[in-house]
Amino acid sequence: MRPFGMAGRLCYHLQVMGKPRKGDIHGAAAPAKAPGRGPGKDVFLYLPAKVVEGVIGSLAIMVLMRLFDPEVYGRYGIINTTVNVSNVVLLGWLIQSAHRYAVKFRSGRGKRAFCATIAAGWAAVNVPVIAVAAVSAPMVLSGGGPQGLATLLAAVWMFVAY
């Protein structure tokens, strides 16, 4: 079973990675860099991946615009933008710190404490978001009907599962 949410995915990958590899913080000395390997080469490896991501995103937008009514697609756009911005504001610090220290706590005694800390931070943000959604659900249902409630549930699901 795949882990749920950012904290679960990170801890899952830490467990899958297993033992530190040669050159890691806990491993032996880092091997010498290959000649010609530098930031320029990394940029040219990263660039095609971002181009492919952009092309797929553009194709997805064109398909969604043709499949759904403008009202439904507009609602999707509002939900998507709101969830992405709130995720960056509320969880960006946790994601960045998790990536920063993931290698340091990949193995040893600190891995369990690291995963617990990340999971606690994730829960500290997501539990209030779910609580606010639960409190506002009756208001959304009375004002927007089942469509409004479905929109609220979709937004909460997207935020929590991000």
Average pLDDT, the chain: 77
pLDDT digits 0-9 by tens, 112-127: 888 888 889 989 988 9
- List CB contacts of 130: < 8 A, sequence separation 6 or more: 156, 160
Is a pLDDT exceeding 50 seen at residue 162? yes
Q: Check residue 65 and give its pLDDT.
A: 86
Give the pLDDT confidence of 41-98 residue by residue, as tens digits. Answer: 777 778 888 899 899 989 988 898 888 888 888 888 888 888 888 888 888 888 888 8
pLDDT for position 49: 85
